[in-house]
Structure 1
Amino acid sequence: MSIVAPIRASRRVGTWGGIALVLLLVGALGAVVAGGANTSSSTALDPRSAAPEGTRALAQVLADRGVEVQIVDSYAEAIGILSTTPATLVLPDAPALSDDTLAQMTGAAHDVVLIEPRSRSLRLVSPDAQAVGVGDGATSLPECAFVVAERAGAVGPTTALSAPSAQSCYPVGEGYGLLVASHGDGRIVAVDATELFTNETITANGNAALALGLMGAEPTLVWYVPSLADSDLEPLVPSLGDLTPPWVTPVLALLAAAAVAAALWRGIRFGPLVSERLPVTVRGSETGEGRAHLYERSRDLGHVAHLLRRGTRGRLARMMGLGSASSPQTIAAAVADTLSRDAAAIRATLDGETPHTRGELDRLHEDLLTLEADTHAALHPERIEP
């Protein structure tokens, strides 16, 4: 029984298993990142959150002092409570609500505390109210006649607000850290709670006293927690998701995953490369010319002379009927007997000093050619043309 098929099957299973594992890891990482982002944004100034940016500590202290803290996620529920009993409304930034809904909600409250003032919500304090910059976080005294601020003492606001027609406390930068204006029979206050009233900062300076004074004046406190689901805004332009059927997004995600899997599958080479002999033929003259050019570029005259002498010795040994392992002395002696010449001179040509210049190398080459030609002529005189 062949074992090739099981091996291939196991490789395919391992490949698809690896692809599935990679997709699961990518999905898990995306879920963690998205969950972290959602958690960070949802816990900011949330009275139910014990995170550093939450405000659970402040809500518990207010409850311990007899204030009924009602946390609501719906503006309709908030308006329903505010319309039936005098209460303080704690309002963070609510971009999902329209201006009319914000005005209706704040109008139903006796006191309003804007804890995350933005340009739109600041207009509830005064039409000329605006954010004018940031400070360095240094502590600042109230320097105003607002009793709650005077009792709280110094705090360290960073957001600078300005409203000439409103009472201003805590100088910071080019503005003030707190704005107070009349609101029917009560008051409306704007203060950046992200730096003063969170779980991380509530115990610093006079932050706790200021928060209790602003939010504990009424027996009931309505703390509105905004969400995108609680919105009365109509989208002006439909998004691409609104115009497409709900099944389009899952199908696109599935196609993308399939494309990635196919790319990984086709990009993996199964098994080792197969070697194959190619029918390539190179002429000896081309090889010789190539080597000659390399030797010329390297200027290794000794190596070139050695190759020339070795080739000549080999051919002379075959002419004289000697073995391929014959020494230069033996070959020179045999050639000297054939040509009736001095054996020492012939040996110097076949195995002598190394040439040091190009001219010496050329002369050696000519001597070797002459010696080989003379030996061939002496051994085969019948081939000499008359």
Structure 2
Amino acid sequence: MTAVSPVPATTAPAPTPRRRRVAAWFAIGVALLVVGGIGGAITAANQWAARDALDPDSAGPAGTRALAEVLRAHGVDVEVTRSRADALAALERGSATLVLPDSPALSDDAVAQLADAADDVVLIEPRSRTLDLLLPGSSAAGFAPGDAVAPACDLPEAARSGAVAPGALYAPGSGTTACYPVDDGFGLLVQDDGDRRVSAVDGGVLFTNEHLADDGNAALAANLMGRHPLVVWYVPSAADTDLTDTDPSLGELTPPWVSPVIVLLLVAGVAAGIWRGRRFGPLVAERLPVTVRASETTEGRARLYARAHDPLHAADRLRIGTLRRLAALLGLGAHAAAGDVADAAAGRIGWDRAAVRGILLDDIPRSDAELVALSTRLRDLEEAVHAAVRPERSTR
């Protein structure tokens, strides 16, 4: 049988309510800091990824610094502008090609103003709006499967570049030259109006640092953008916008008293949570309508043990009580182990140590008769220790 300790093992003192409250608020603060840090990191990563895409100053996989260097190596000056005003100022200095990604922050008039100021326009991220605005009648037509295709058109720049693997496909409008056919779409649209040209191609697939060296991508980019001595590369941003927010806010749609009432309700909710969430005070003794004698409780437990046919459980309870009383008689303290109590009792009364351990720890009763016999031995052992420790008070 496993040794039974007379009293529970030593445990650390329970934390006070104040310490628990401080620890809870500290844990909440740490959790908020961690969540905020993760959110900030994700936001920064998303902002960097957005800036990296088709940015001629970026050396990342989605950037286009390699293309800018290729153009400069061919004697073309590349000026990167990050505002519409700077782009217009650069385009006014002479013959120039405007490289224009998708610019959702600009109105149609602003996009048209930029395009009208340039001699050539190369749309490297065309969307339906810019296609319809600068290449009337053209529209998006899906995506190519990824295989390289020949130009299959009369455009000299495409013929010199050779095959490429276009990404997005477009359906041409009236008067538009279409190259790199895939099914019902084309990978390149070009419309000439005298000496002015507007081109549309998926630069995110063809002109980035990651794919510029594939097939004829670099040659196609240089041929489309290198027709003039200056390339003005406009990099759009949400801050550079001419759009005005015409949608009314929630505060403008509601009466003036709604916002103060919402704040008051929030404060009341927080106060109610603090009030109802307080800890209860110490336990208060309550007088019961019925008093049950200890002897009746003991008899009730004994009947339960007998009904369960569990003599070992009953023996453990008897031994725990005996060990607790023996530890007090022998002055061993409240936290003495069961084996130490058994050895001290055997040494005090001169009994065999193994026999005392058998009584207090090891013997396993398997029937009610054995349980009664064990109870008798426990009583005799306790009386012997009591007589040895306090012989003048022993009445047994």
TM norm structure 2: 0.61
The answer as to 2:95 corresponding to 1:86 is yes
Specify the alignment match of 1:140 in structure 2: 149
Give the direction of change, closer, same or farther, for the CA distance of 1:278–1:197 in structure 2 (3 Å limit): farther
Q: Is the 8 A contact 1:154 1:205 kept in 2?
A: yes
CA distance in structure 2 between the aligned counterparts of 1:270 and 1:279, rounded to whole angstroms: 21
Deviations 1:63-116 (Å, cap 9, x if unpaired)? Answer: 222211111111122112212210010000111112122112111111110000
User: Structure 2: which amino acid aligns with 1:190?
Assistant: A
Specify the alignment match of 2:32 in structure 1: 23
Specify the alignment match of 2:187 in structure 1: 177
Q: Counterparts of 1:93-112 in structure 2 under 5 Å?
A: 93-112=102-121
Q: Is the 8 A contact 2:112 2:134 kept in 1?
A: no
Q: Is the 8 A contact 1:96 1:233 kept in 2?
A: yes
The answer as to 2:228 corresponding to 1:218 is yes
Give the direction of change, closer, same or farther, for the CA distance of 1:27–1:180 in structure 2 (3 Å limit): same
The answer as to 2:178 corresponding to 1:168 is yes
SS of the aligned residue for 1:188 comes to strand
Deviations 1:193-219 (Å, cap 9, x if unpaired)? Answer: 111111111111111111111112211
Equivalent of 1:149 in 143, 149, 158: 158
Equivalent of 1:187 in 191, 197, 212: 197
User: Structure 2: which amino acid aligns with 1:75?
Assistant: R
User: Structure 2: which amino acid aligns with 1:59?
Assistant: A
Q: 1:167 offset after TM fit, Å?
A: 0.4
Give the direction of change, closer, same or farther, for the CA distance of 1:16–1:174 in structure 2 (3 Å limit): same
Which fold has the larger relative contact order, with Cα–Cα distance below 8 Å and residues 6 or more apart in sequence?
2
SS of the aligned residue for 2:204 comes to coil
CA distance in structure 1 between the aligned counterparts of 2:37 and 2:127, rounded to whole angstroms: 36
Which entry has the higher C-alpha Rg, 1 or 2?
A: 1
TM norm structure 1: 0.62
Q: Counterparts of 1:1-386 in structure 2 under 5 Å?
A: 9-165=18-174, 166-240=176-250, 266=277, 279=288
Which piece of structure 1 moves more, 106-115 or 48-57? 48-57
Q: 1:10 offset after TM fit, Å?
A: 4.3
User: Structure 1: which amino acid aligns with 2:190?
Assistant: V
User: Structure 1: which amino acid aligns with 2:230?
Assistant: T
SS of the aligned residue for 1:235 comes to coil
Q: 1:5 offset after TM fit, Å?
A: 12
The percent identity for this pair of structures is 46
Q: Is the 8 A contact 1:53 1:194 kept in 2?
A: yes
User: Structure 2: which amino acid aligns with 1:89?
Assistant: L
Specify the alignment match of 2:343 in structure 1: none
Q: 1:12 offset after TM fit, Å?
A: 4.1
Give the direction of change, closer, same or farther, for the CA distance of 1:107–1:275 in structure 2 (3 Å limit): same
Instruction: Give the gaps of 5 or more residues in structure 2.
Output: 1-12, 309-396
Q: Is the 8 A contact 2:188 2:200 kept in 1?
A: yes
Deviations 1:47-73 (Å, cap 9, x if unpaired)? Answer: 111221111111122122221111111
CA distance in structure 1 between the aligned counterparts of 2:280 and 2:229, rounded to whole angstroms: 75
Which piece of structure 1 moves more, 26-35 or 138-147? 26-35
CA distance in structure 1 between the aligned counterparts of 2:280 and 2:220, rounded to whole angstroms: 71
CA distance in structure 2 between the aligned counterparts of 1:39 and 1:56, rounded to whole angstroms: 15
CA distance in structure 1 between the aligned counterparts of 2:270 and 2:213, rounded to whole angstroms: 55
CA distance in structure 2 between the aligned counterparts of 1:5 and 1:135, rounded to whole angstroms: 68
Deviations 1:180-233 (Å, cap 9, x if unpaired)? Answer: 001441311000111111111111111111111111221110000111111111
CA distance in structure 2 between the aligned counterparts of 1:30 and 1:270, rounded to whole angstroms: 37
CA distance in structure 2 between the aligned counterparts of 1:126 and 1:236, rounded to whole angstroms: 28
Q: 1:8 offset after TM fit, Å?
A: 5.2
User: Structure 2: which amino acid aligns with 1:110?
Assistant: D
CA distance in structure 2 between the aligned counterparts of 1:63 and 1:276, rounded to whole angstroms: 90
RMSD: 4.0
Q: Is the 8 A contact 1:58 1:197 kept in 2?
A: yes
CA distance in structure 2 between the aligned counterparts of 1:133 and 1:275, rounded to whole angstroms: 76
- Give the number of equivalent residue pairs: 279
Give the direction of change, closer, same or farther, for the CA distance of 1:63–1:259 in structure 2 (3 Å limit): farther
CA distance in structure 2 between the aligned counterparts of 1:207 and 1:143, rounded to whole angstroms: 16
